[in-house]
Amino acid sequence: MRVWLFLHRYLGLIIGLQLLFWTVSGLFFSLSPIRQVRGEHTTRQATARNLCDFEWLPLEQIGPWTDDAVQVLDVRRRILLDEAVYELAVVREGLRGTELWSAGSGNRISPISGTMAEQIALQDFTEPTAVRSIERIKEAGPHSEYRGRELPAYRVELNHASGTVIYVSESRGAVVTRRNTHWRWFDFFWMLHTMDYQGRDNFNLWPLQLASVLGVSTVVSGFGLWVTRTRWFRRRRRRSV
């Protein structure tokens, strides 16, 4: 019994704080509707538009087709802010990228302006609000809420109680992701849960593996301590002596 008591006491002291983090973060996850975390509850559903209602210049009249130095890999037709556009995946000067071209005028639209990014963000949000600030970002570190996403992009912060920030791709003119206060708390607890204090998303780190082993050992020692304190175990031990 002393062995189980010793193990449980000191293992609990070592791993207790992390066990608390796992429990609290798990509780937070279970109480957090994933749609609210992702900001989907305030995302406007795209209205189906008939592409035939818009005028489309032949692709042969669009810029990349008249430039032998540009290779077109893919073409997509879509509506952007009530304007028909061609979204082209191209290779220009050896670099692969995405370009937007107006299907009505044949003019290139991308990279989009900050004003257009504001309009795209406001159109994406369901509730009436205004733009608090806008910033063009060219890089995002491992601790950024926009980590691992396409760049450059516009960071459009809305004047809303949810703390929503909408990120709009500069090249595609499309919403890449949405962040709000709920997501930031979720991200914080996810960091504590995975013990990845750098990029948040790696759960194959040795600190997590070690903490898991110690956590399991703490639980097992607790069961062992409980068993050794039962009347059944004590009686059995006395008979064996």
The three-class DSSP label of residue 140 is: coil
Where does 111-179 sit in CATH, by number? 3.10.450
Cβ pair 178, 166 in contact under 8 A: yes
* Residue whose structure tokens are 């929503």: 164
* Residue whose structure tokens are 């996810």: 190
Per-residue pLDDT of the chain (241 residues; tens, 9 = 90+): 555 555 556 566 666 777 888 888 889 998 999 999 999 899 988 777 788 888 888 888 887 777 777 888 889 999 998 889 999 998 888 889 899 999 988 889 989 999 999 999 999 999 899 999 999 999 988 888 998 899 999 999 999 999 999 999 999 999 999 999 999 999 999 888 887 777 777 676 666 666 666 666 666 666 666 656 666 555 655 555 5
pTM score of the predicted model: 0.81
193 to each of 39, 148, 196, 207, 208, how far by Cα in Å?
Answer: 22, 20, 8, 11, 9
Where does 44-110 sit in CATH, by number? 3.10.450
Sheet holding 95-102, edge to edge: 70-80, 83-92, 95-102
What are the structural domain ranges in the chain? 2-34+187-240, 44-110, 111-179
Q: ∠88-164-109 over CA atoms, to 5°? A: 25
68-92: burial string, b at 16+ Cβ within 10 Å, e else:
eeeebeeeeebbbeeebbbbbebee
Q: Do domains 44-110 and 111-179 have the same CATH topology?
A: yes
